Amino acid sequence: MNTSKKIVLVVSGVCIIVGGIWYSRGIQIVGDVKIPSIPKQSCLEHNKEKHMKKTVEELTQYKRAYFAGGCFWCTESDLQKAPGVREVVSGYAGGTVVNPTYSDVTSEKSGHREVVEIYYDGDITTYENLVHYHLMHIDPTDAGGQFYDRGESYQAVIFYTSEEERLVAERNLQALNNAQIFSKPVAVKILPYKNFYSAEEYHQNYAEENTVKYCAYRESSGRDAFLQKYFGNKSWEELVGTTNTVPASTDSSVQNMDASAKLDFSRYVKPSAEELKTKLTDIEYDVTQESGTEKPFDNAYNENHRAGIYVDIVSGEPLFSSD
């Protein structure tokens, strides 16, 4: 064996040993960022039925919503897992440049945000539920971007397409802010929808197509640690401390509404039948949805004399005041 071959073998052996040591450490150091070499199982889970791109004809039967929450790789992946969501498309919205590229948007000169277009089944979920879900999968207090990603293009935004959606967004951002969960105020913007453009194909379904790289980026960004700290294993009602099933409201924002606000009933949206079946008891569902009746003088509020505003158990709409 000549000298050059011996040198190659020695170098190769050293590389194998070093490589084995690096792998056993479990993390790779890239600059100052620690990137996990083995992503968490929760990050690897995907629902492939939701990731299959549907035809235009198939999508016409669904409602749409537009949210921005930082890197659209993450918002796309998160919202694909939301109940009732049938499709999520990564793209750009809110700016002035026609058919922008990723470079146009991240240059912070086009006015666009990284946005996801959500197609959802209105018989299974509601726009308000999607707003709740979105707010619990971002940092709602970050006005300058989201986690690693900084700049206007990464700001959290709820884009509304109707007055009803605007009211839903405002009400829930106010509720989240009033809950005083964070040390900073809620900074999510509410803007009118305009000009959604699909992002380049390599951005679509990024979490599924580039799982290891995506999961490494996501975990090292601190997103999941933040979500677990503030939202882990909580429902929206638990988070903000409200529920539509409470008979009397002590919420000062309800009690102090002016006359015009009291007449605005568009804010009260009936949930889908599937949601109501999980939210209501059997007798509550039968009475409110199936025209059923209940046994007289035999319910939880028969001897209730609390003062306050009584609301509809289905939508939360105020019915009367006992004051």
The answer on 76 and 186 residing in a single domain is yes
Q: How confident is the model at residue 229 (pLDDT cuts 50, 70, 90)?
A: very high
The answer on 45 and 105 residing in a single domain is yes
Domain final residue, candidates 211, 238, 265: 238
What kind and span of H or E run contains 202?
Answer: none
Q: What would the pLDDT profile of 40-74 be if each residue is shown by its tens digit?
A: 556 666 655 655 567 778 888 899 999 999 999 99
DSSP summary character for residue 153: G
Residue 26: inside a domain: no
Residue 19: inside a domain: no
Calculated CA dihedral for residues 162, 165, 166, 168, nearest 10 degrees: 160
Q: How confident is the model at residue 208 (pLDDT cuts 50, 70, 90)?
A: confident
The answer on 176 and 304 residing in a single domain is no
The answer on 71 and 211 residing in a single domain is yes
Q: Which of 43, 71, 74, 215 is catalytic?
A: 71
What is the arithmetic mean of pLDDT over 266-286?
73
Residue 141: inside a domain: yes
C-beta separation of 277 from 289 below 8 A: no
Residue 27: inside a domain: no
Place of tokens 């509550």: 284
Best-predicted range by mean pLDDT (47-56, 93-102, 157-166): 157-166
Residue 21: inside a domain: no
pLDDT of residue 285: 77
String of b and e for 154-189 (b: at least 16 CB within 10 Å)? Answer: bbbbbbbeeeebbbbbeebbebbbeeebeeeebbbb
Average predicted confidence (pLDDT) for the chain:
77
Domain final residue, candidates 192, 207, 238: 238
Does the pTM surpass 0.75? The reply is no
* Residue 74 bears catalytic tag: no
Domain final residue, candidates 207, 223, 238: 238
Residue 4: inside a domain: no
Reduced to 3 states (helix: H, G, I; strand: E, B; else coil), residue 121 is coil
Say which range, 64-68, 203-207, 255-259, 267-271, has the weakest mean pLDDT: 255-259
Q: Which residues contact 264 (CB under 8 A, 6 or more apart)?
A: 167
Q: What residues make up the domain containing 302?
A: 243-321
The answer on 199 and 55 residing in a single domain is yes
Half-sphere exposure of 241 (CA within 13 A, CB side): 11
The answer on 165 and 286 residing in a single domain is no
Q: How confident is the model at residue 26 (pLDDT cuts 50, 70, 90)?
A: very low
What gap in Å lies between CA 249 and CA 310, rounded to an integer? Answer: 7
Sign of dihedral through CA atoms 223, 242, 259, 165? Answer: positive
68 by Cβ neighbours in 10 Å (0-12 / 13-18 / 19+) ranks as buried
**Residue 220 maps to which CATH number?**
3.30.1060.10
C-beta separation of 197 from 99 below 8 A: yes
Domains held by the chain: number:
2
Q: Is the pLDDT of residue 294 over 50?
A: yes
The answer on 309 and 204 residing in a single domain is no
What is the arithmetic mean of pLDDT over 28-48?
48
The answer on 215 and 259 residing in a single domain is no
The answer on 254 and 184 residing in a single domain is no
Per residue, the 3-state secondary structure of 260-308, as one string, reads HHHCCHHHCCCCCHHHHHHHCCHHHHHHHHCCCCCCCCCCCCCCCCCCC
Residue 208: inside a domain: yes
C-beta separation of 118 from 158 below 8 A: no
pLDDT of residue 52: 55
Encoding tokens for residue 272?
């889908």
Q: What would the pLDDT profile of 104-143 be if each residue is shown by its tens digit?
A: 999 888 889 999 999 999 999 999 999 999 999 999 999 9
Say which range, 91-95, 113-117, 275-279, 303-307, has the weakest mean pLDDT: 303-307
The answer on 174 and 105 residing in a single domain is yes
Q: How confident is the model at residue 94 (pLDDT cuts 50, 70, 90)?
A: very high
Residue 171: inside a domain: yes
- 70, 103, 131, 171, 223 from 134: Cα distances, Å: 11, 25, 5, 14, 13
Q: How confident is the model at residue 251 (pLDDT cuts 50, 70, 90)?
A: very low
Q: How confident is the model at residue 27 (pLDDT cuts 50, 70, 90)?
A: very low
The answer on 252 and 125 residing in a single domain is no
The answer on 230 and 99 residing in a single domain is yes
Neighbouring CB atoms inside 10 A of 128's CB total 20
Q: Give the distance between the most distant pair of CA atoms in the chain.
A: 100
